[in-house]
Amino acid sequence: MSETILEINHLSKFFGKHEVLTDIDFSVDTGDVTSIIGASGSGKSTLLRCINLLETPTSGEIIYRGPNIKKIKGGAPAYRTKVGMVFQSFNLFNNMTVLKNCMVGQTKVLHRSKEEAKKEAMKYLEKVGMAPYINAKPRQLSGGQKQRVAIARALAMNPDILLFDEPTSALDPEMVGEVLNVMRTLAKEGTTMLVVTHEMAFARDVSNKVVYMNGGVILEQGTPEEVFGNPQHKETVDFLARFRN
């Protein structure tokens, strides 16, 4: 049984006079793996950032499990514990070890005991294959390793949904695979994910929904078969053609 976790209604975002997102509508059900694709500058990052309130939407609403997120008790911080985010540039805490990175949110925000936080952190660090590196500082890791720790950090908060903003775009090509593998595993296990990506193979093979954005609007959305197999717009066809060669 899948239920709707997140519903975005008529969301728009202006930076000053510049309209970056126009009338965005879509929803995420439990277990969905949604890929957001589209050219650079089409507003994908801004959409993700609006969803976890790093940017304030100019208008429209975001409904999380029933209530509008503006009404959630505890405000944005409480809501964000439920909506994890993995950034293109990792954003690991430079002053902490790998283990501490994965524990600090649990102890400081969820008020878990140290023992419990550590157990949870280790569980996810093992899952992403970073358990041997718990004593390393972020500066001592490669990009792919950093991103896997960032994924473990987000997972350790036990979020309902994970947002990924181009998680492999800052990585050297040989490291893309290790991160995508982790994401594939998560998808198989039923983790609800919303992934901005340029990895068309991932979008096609792993996700069950694909959203194509163009110029701040959602031009097309559907199953991978629909969007990749039978695109309805010329822009989509052109965009996808650039990835086939």
Ligand X SMILES: Nc1ncnc2c1ncn2[C@@H]1O[C@H](COP(=O)(O)OP(=O)(O)O)[C@@H](O)[C@H]1O
Query: Total binding residues for other proteins by CB under 8 A?
Result: 46
Binding mask 96-115 for other proteins (x = CB under 8 A): -x-xx---xx--xxx---xx
* Residue 68 interacting with other proteins (CB under 8 A): no
End-to-end CA distance of the chain: 39
**Helices 98-108 and 143-156, axial angle in degrees (round to 10):** 20
β-bridge mates for residue 59, sequence order: 12
Q: Which of residues 19-48 bind ligand X (CB under 6 A)?
A: 20, 38, 40-46
Three-state DSSP class for residue 177: helix
Tell me which residue has tokens 């990792």. Answer: 90
Among 13, 44, 80, 209, binds other proteins (CB under 8 A): 80
Pick what 164 binds: other proteins, Mg ion, ligand X, none; C-beta below 5 to 8 Å, kind-dependent: none
* Residue 45 interacting with Mg ion (CB under 5 A): yes
User: What does the chain come to in residues?
Assistant: 245
Of 185, 212, 186, the closest CA to residue 197 belongs to 212
- 63: Cα within 13 Å, side-chain hemisphere: 16
Tell me which residue has tokens 């822009």. Answer: 235
Q: Which stretch binds other proteins (CB under 8 A): 150-158, 167-175, 190-198, 237-245?
A: 150-158
Q: Which stretch binds Mg ion (CB under 5 A): 16-24, 40-48, 58-66, 173-181?
A: 40-48
Enumerate binding residues for ligand X (CB under 6 A): 15, 18, 20, 38, 40-46
